Amino acid sequence: MLYKNTALKFLLFSFLWVSTTALAHSPDFSSIIISKTENGQIVLQITSSLTAFQQEVNYVNGEGAYTSPEEFQDLVLQLFKSRFSLILNNNDTIKFKNLKVLLGHETKIITEITGITTEITSIHLKNKMFKDLHNSQTVVIFLLDGFPKEKFTLQRDNKHELSIILEDEDWIVPTAKSDHTSLKYLPYLITLIIGGLLLFLSKK
């Protein structure tokens, strides 16, 4: 069993290494990994290209907002604190400490996570750090016992948020209410009706 778990983690890390290396040149892609170190610390790692961090920092703060690597790192951390959150069991907001930004062609935010309870029944993760970038997509992977094993993708369609709950030992995405779906298309329907009416009157 230990061999199988070790092999699974090795395969997951190998996949992530290949993926992030291949996408290091693209600002549209990023990854989030939550894992546990050998000494028991739970760590969050957000990885993307340096270009992605630069574009978002410049978009939020304007060109010339920083003049040194240290100032840039501070702005990245401000972005993280205002646009990232992790809530477990609906009300347990996770805390972060020892925040660091590791600059490079592949830039990382690394922080220790505290406050995770033993039993997890729901997860809400929000990462809008790169929401202003065209076609921004973030792959989320949990490498912790009791968390889902599959990967998830945050993008514009789900507002860069992930909400899942544990039901009968399976992690599922709650079904959206049907009235929300129908109301979403109401403006288009009204426009179509008005357009048809104006076309009919013009022919009269």
Mean pLDDT value across residues 64-90:
96
10 inside domain: yes
201 inside domain: no
> What is the DSSP code (8-state) at residue 134?
T
pLDDT in tens, 96-128: 999 999 999 999 999 999 888 778 999 999 999
193 inside domain: no
What is the residue range of 84's domain?
2-175
One-letter identity of residue 126: K
CA nearest 26: which of 104, 155, 133? 133
- According to the model, what pLDDT value does residue 83 have? 96
- Whether the predicted pLDDT of 191 surpasses 50: yes
pLDDT in tens, 129-158: 999 998 999 999 999 988 999 999 999 999
191 inside domain: no
160 inside domain: yes
Residue with tokens 């959150």, as numbered in its chain:
85
196 inside domain: no
H or E segment and range at residue 167 = strand 161-167
pLDDT in tens, 18-54: 444 444 456 789 999 999 999 999 999 999 999 999 9
77 inside domain: yes
pTM (2 d.p.): 0.73
The total number of structural domains that make up the chain: 1
pLDDT in tens, 90-101: 887 889 999 999
70 inside domain: yes
